[in-house]
């Protein structure tokens, strides 16, 4: 009996073999009483296929593979092969060309610049995160949970100083340090960039060759599982970047896999991204959809990942994305929607969330495509969340302005609330905003040194108070000065300077307030969760608003001043004649403020303001932030 059965082949042909990663690839096993490794690969247009590797001294003809049936799965059982062996598939095409291909379903790869796959057995990984996994299943309504994400590129978070090689921390080495940092700061999740195996460091992991393999840059699949397990045991969720939009042309990868366009669309107008120089998956082929769905399920079910952030969704939805006239072909209705990709997303998201309650599917979708987070049965794509790129652009455009000109651009900060309830959003300040030539967050701010820090603090406070879950890229929480580069670690030495420690302390306070008060996250996507007190104070560039939770207890009032003008006589309207307790004052000395004494409690007076009967008076400093609970 072989490894792959007729039933496996049938399900794969239908695109519904959800455990396909347990069948295709390399799997240690037995034939009769003989131990060895089963190798299986899908190559329907191949003339011949061999498996070659360290177990047969790369002898090209020693281990031929047998075609099991009409859908072109080839299999070989190799008694000499063992865990840790390197291997490739040698594919003879119909034209007689010889292709040396890495295993698309491999769980482990040779360290770059090597391109071979490595035999491993991820079924043997031991987990001790049962408490986290059970809680995840119980919390299937993720929307009323806090979500503040720390986006991390592992290879440049920290590095070993002066080491001979890359200086990368391994998955095991980084686990305690990253966990301690994330817990202390108050983030709820980490989002890891560049985990699925990829050849070129400069792609940051967005041009994937190993959709089933954690990159070997930082260790083994067991080491990666150790990191996830460690974070879970300390109550930190893990999100991964996942890239089903395109793949690189590298000779050992998926491109022209069996001598034909197997994984990509055959028509280059559908199958190639001119801007990126990459190939586009053929979402019409059941086996290709199965390959991608199997990859997503592997990360979630085998590696216990809590969410996938799906990269470049817009490039999949639009046939003309990044293309000129003549470079794309319309669908059967004559428009630019990729109907196959739309169906793929509905299938993928419904399946993953249905099988794994509490798991999130997050779309990085940069256009106004409707109902990205809408239910599939209503015509939506069924993502859990969508990155709010519109908010990000408006926010950054506003923050870059000289404070004098902000009054003419006041609506940039209020506009996002006009569409806030159309999707379930995450507000993001991601790696893309702080890379080459885009400036770090602190250097986007106007003014000289001290003003830059005060601007950034009020900006972060506004972001934390605004409806939507949160994401911040590493380094921005302590005002990294330089742009991010994958080639070096963050400038941790900046924390020796008081102004960097103070902004980090301020972000930490914001994150802990966010987690502590359900009014900050309970009703992000419901009108009852947010209310403007004054959205129109453009002349003074002050924004005031209320956040509410389901119970109405501990509602929060935010006041944010975006100019260097102090307002000692500032008055803000309030909804009730109650006491208002100051829980965040940006003027505290530990945040770099003047440290002026202020009352802790403010009683509402019967004094009309902002169209309300009651109000409180507060001494609002320049670039001041005040948050009150009531």
Instruction: Concatenate the DSSP letters of all residues of 468-483 into one string.
Output: SEEEEETTGGGT--SP
C-alpha pair distances (Å), 103 with each of 50, 212, 406: 12, 10, 54
Residue 365 sits in a domain whose CATH number is: 3.20.20.80
Q: How far apart, in whole angstroms, are the C-alpha atoms of residue 302 and residue 221?
A: 11
Q: To which H or E segment does residue 271 belong?
A: helix 268-271
Give Cα 319 to chain centroid, integer Å.
Answer: 24
Are both 190 and 333 inside the same structural domain?
A: yes
pLDDT tens, residue by residue, 470-495: 999 999 999 999 999 999 999 999 99
37 vs 20: CA distance, rounded Å: 17
Contact 559, 572 (CB under 8 A): yes
Does any domain span residue 575? Answer: yes
pLDDT digits (tens, 9 = 90+) for 182-208: 999 999 999 999 999 999 998 999 999
Structure token pair of residue 261 = 């366009």
The pLDDT assigned to 130 comes to: 97
- Is the Cβ–Cβ distance between 451 and 564 less than 8 Å? yes
User: Which tokens hold the place of 321?
Assistant: 């994305």
So what's the pLDDT on residue 13?
97
Residue 545 in this model has a pLDDT that exceeds 70: yes
280 and 184 in a single domain? The answer is: yes
Q: Which of 470, 463, 454, 430 is nearest to 503 (CA)?
A: 454
Domain of 559: which CATH number? Answer: 2.60.40.1180
On whether residue 495 sits in a domain, the answer given is no
Is residue 317 included in any domain, yes or no?
A: yes
Task: Give the residue numbers marked as catalytic.
Answer: 311, 364
> Is residue 458 situated within a structural domain?
no
Boundary residue ending a domain (360, 387, 414)? 387
Judge whether 431 lies within some domain: no
CB 383 within 8 A of CB 362: yes
Residue 267 and residue 323 in one domain: yes
Query: What's the number of domains the chain is made of?
Result: 3
pLDDT score at 99: 98
Residue 452 CB burial class (10 angstroms; 0-12, 13-18, ≥19) = buried
The share of the chain scoring above pLDDT 90, in percent, equals 97
Same domain membership, residue 100 and residue 240: no
pLDDT in tens, 322-340: 999 999 999 999 999 999 9
Q: What is the pLDDT of residue 1?
A: 54
In a domain, 296, yes or no: yes
- Give 54: exposed, middle or buried? Use CB within 10 Å, 0-12, 13-18, 19+: middle
pLDDT number for residue 316: 97
Average pLDDT over residues 435-441: 94
Peptide bond before residue 113 is cis, with ω within 30 degrees of 0: yes
**Cβ neighbours for 269, distance < 8 A, ≥ 6 positions apart:** 323, 327, 328, 329
- Tokens in use for 270? 């559908």
* Strand duo 360-363 + 196-197: pairing: unpaired
The verdict on 178 and 261 lying in the same domain is: yes
CA distance 232 to 408: 46
Indicate whether 172 and 305 sit together in one domain.
yes
Tokens of 528: 């009852």
pLDDT of 238: 98
**Ordered DSSP codes for 321-342:** TT--TTS----TTSSSB-HHHH
56 and 178 inside one domain: no
Q: Looking at the domain assignment, is residue 411 inside a domain?
A: no
- pLDDT for 369: 96
* 237 and 375 co-located in one domain: yes
Rounded Cα gap, residues 237 and 354, in angstroms = 19
Tell me which of 368, 387, 406 is where a domain ends: 387
How many CB atoms are closer than 10 A to CB 613? 15
198 with 318, same domain: the answer is yes
- Residue ending a domain, choose from 121, 153, 182: 121
| pLDDT reported for residue 551 | 87
CA 274 to chain centre: 25
Judge whether residue 396 has pLDDT over 80. Answer: yes
96 lies in the same domain as 191? no
Among 350, 348, 351, smallest CA distance to 313 is for: 348
CATH at 16 = 2.60.40.10
Question: Per-residue pLDDT averaged across 378-388, rounded?
Answer: 97
**Using CA atoms, how far apart are residues 284 and 124, in angstroms rounded to an integer?**
34
Distance CA 90, CA 229 (A): 36
Q: Is the pLDDT of residue 162 over 90?
A: no
The confidence score (pLDDT) of residue 537 equals 97
Euclidean distance between CA atoms 345 and 359, whole angstroms:
15
pLDDT for residue 553 is more than 90: no
Count the alpha carbons within 13 Å of 76 in the hemisphere toward its beta carbon: 20
How far apart (Å, rounded) are the C-alpha atoms in residues 138 and 445? 42
The alpha carbon of residue 353 and the mean position of all alpha carbons in its chain are separated, in whole angstroms, by 16
Collapsing DSSP to helix, strand or coil, 569 comes out as strand
pTM for the full model?
0.97
What average pLDDT does range 53-67 have in this prediction? 97
Asked whether residue 114 falls in the same domain as residue 172, the answer is no
Closest CA relative to residue 478, chosen from 181, 183, 169, 179 = 181
**579 and 488 Cβ atoms separated by less than 8 Å:** no
Q: What is the pLDDT of residues 6-15, one digit of tens each?
A: 999 999 999 9
Position 458 scores a pLDDT of 98
**Residue numbers of the domain that contains 623:** 527-629
* Cα–Cα distance for residue pair 628/556, rounded to 1 Å: 6
Establish if 494 belongs to a structural domain.
Answer: no
For residues 172 and 106, state if they share a domain: no
């Amino acid at each position: 009996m072989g490894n792959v059965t007729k039933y496996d082949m049938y399900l794969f042909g239908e695109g519904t073999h959800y455990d396909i990663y347990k069948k295709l690839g390399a799997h240690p096993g037995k034939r009769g009483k003989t131990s060895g490794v089963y190798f299986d690969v899908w190559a329907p247009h191949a003339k011949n296929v061999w498996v070659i590797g360290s177990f047969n001294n790369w002898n090209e003809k020693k281990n031929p593979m047998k075609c099991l049936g009409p859908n072109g799965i080839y299999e070989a059982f190799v008694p000499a092969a063992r865990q840790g062996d390197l291997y490739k598939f040698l594919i003879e095409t119909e034209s007689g060309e010889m292709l040396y291909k890495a295993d698309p379903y491999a769980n482990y790869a040779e360290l770059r610049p090597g391109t071979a796959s490595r035999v491993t057995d991820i079924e043997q990984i031991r987990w001790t995160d049962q408490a986290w996994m059970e809680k995840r299943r119980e919390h299937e309504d993720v929307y009323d949970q806090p979500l503040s994400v720390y986006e991390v590129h592992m290879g440049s978070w920290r590095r070993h100083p002066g080491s001979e090689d890359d200086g990368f921390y391994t998955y095991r080495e980084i686990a305690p340090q990253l966990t301690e940092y994330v817990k202390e700061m108050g983030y709820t999740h980490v989002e890891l960039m560049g985990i699925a195996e990829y050849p070129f460091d400069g792609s940051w992991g967005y041009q994937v060759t190993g959709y089933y393999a954690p990159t070997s840059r930082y260790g083994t699949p067991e080491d990666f599982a150790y990191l996830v397990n460690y974070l879970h045991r300390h109550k930190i969720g893990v999100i991964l970047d996942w890239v089903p939009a395109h793949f690189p042309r590298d000779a050992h990868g998926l491109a022209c896999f069996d001598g034909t366009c197997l994984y990509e669309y055959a028509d280059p107008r559908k199958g190639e991204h001119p801007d990126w120089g990459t190939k586009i998956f053929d979402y019409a082929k059941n086996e290709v959809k199965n390959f991608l769905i199997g990859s997503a399920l592997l990360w979630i079910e085998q590696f216990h990942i809590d969410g996938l952030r799906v990269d470049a969704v817009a490039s999949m939805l639009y046939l003309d994305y990044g293309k000129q006239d003549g470079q794309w072909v319309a669908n059967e209705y004559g428009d630019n929607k990729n109907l196959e990709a739309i169906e793929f997303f509905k299938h993928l998201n419904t399946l993953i969330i249905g099988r794994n309650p509490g798991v999130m599917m997050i779309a990085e979708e940069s256009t106004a495509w409707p109902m990205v987070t809408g239910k599939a049965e209503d015509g939506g794509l069924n993502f859990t969340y969508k990155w709010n790129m519109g908010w990000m652009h408006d926010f950054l455009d506003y923050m870059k302005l000289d404070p004098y000109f902000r009054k003419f651009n006041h609506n940039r900060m209020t506009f996002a609330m006009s569409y806030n309830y159309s999707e379930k959003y995450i507000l993001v300040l991601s790696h893309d905003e702080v890379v080459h030539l885009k400036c770090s967050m602190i250097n986007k701010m106007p003014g000289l040194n001290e003003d830059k820090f005060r601007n950034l603090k009020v900006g972060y406070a506004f972001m934390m108070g605004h409806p939507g879950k949160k994401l911040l890229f590493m380094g921005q929480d302590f005002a990294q000065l330089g742009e991010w580069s994958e080639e070096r670690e963050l400038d941790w030495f900046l924390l020796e300077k008081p102004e960097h420690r103070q902004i980090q302390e301020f972000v930490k306070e914001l994150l802990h307030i966010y987690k502590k008060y359900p009014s900050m996250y309970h009703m992000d996507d419901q009108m009852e969760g947010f209310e403007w007190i004054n959205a129109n104070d453009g002349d003074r560039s002050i924004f005031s608003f209320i956040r509410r939770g389901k119970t109405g207890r501990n509602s929060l009032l935010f006041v944010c001043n975006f100019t260097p003008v102090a307002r000692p006589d500032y008055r803000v309207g309030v909804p009730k004649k109650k006491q208002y307790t100051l829980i965040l004052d940006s003027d505290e000395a530990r945040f770099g403020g003047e440290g002026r004494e202020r009352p802790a409690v403010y009683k509402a007076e019967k004094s009309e303001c902002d169209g309300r009967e009651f109000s409180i008076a507060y001494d609002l400093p320049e670039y001041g932030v005040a948050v009150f609970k009531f």
